[in-house]
Amino acid sequence: MTLKPLADRVVVKLVEAEETTKTGIVLPGTAKEKPQIAEVIAVGPGGMVDGKEIVMTVKVGDRVITSKYAGTEVKCDGTEYNIVKQSDILAIVE
């Protein structure tokens, strides 16, 4: 199955969070923060959304930072993805 986002939506796959802190402390699963860095898997076409012209600025393969609790989580073929609006993407990581 393939996910094809509509309008200004973007499908991202969250990058795994670090399991240890900078000082070497191993974090249990309950203490980890939700990851905010994700890889763009698919991008919608943009166009007219709520009366405004939306131009998509992210592309497949970009690594981005998303709002902490943005989007809708979906599972497809055993892999977890997040579908977010382009406006929920805060930055592109270079």
Mean pLDDT along residues 47-71: 93
Counting the structural domains of the chain, the total is 1
pLDDT for 21 beyond 70: no
Domain membership flag for residue 4:
no
Domain that holds residue 51: 9-16+32-93
pLDDT for 37 beyond 70: yes
Domain membership flag for residue 73:
yes
Domain membership flag for residue 27:
no
Domain membership flag for residue 77:
yes
Select the more confidently predicted residue: 81 or 30: 81
Domain membership flag for residue 22:
no
21 and 33 in contact (C-beta within 8 Å)?
no
Tell if the pTM clears 0.75, that is, is over it: yes
Specify the CATH number for the domain of residue 53. 2.30.33.40
pLDDT for 94 beyond 60: yes
Mean pLDDT, rounded, of the chain = 87
pLDDT for 69 beyond 90: no
Q: How far apart are CA 60 and CA 43, in angstroms?
A: 7
Domain membership flag for residue 26:
no
pLDDT at res. 89:
96
Q: How far apart are CA 6 and CA 4, in angstroms?
A: 7
Domain membership flag for residue 25:
no
Q: How far apart are CA 66 and CA 82, in angstroms?
A: 10
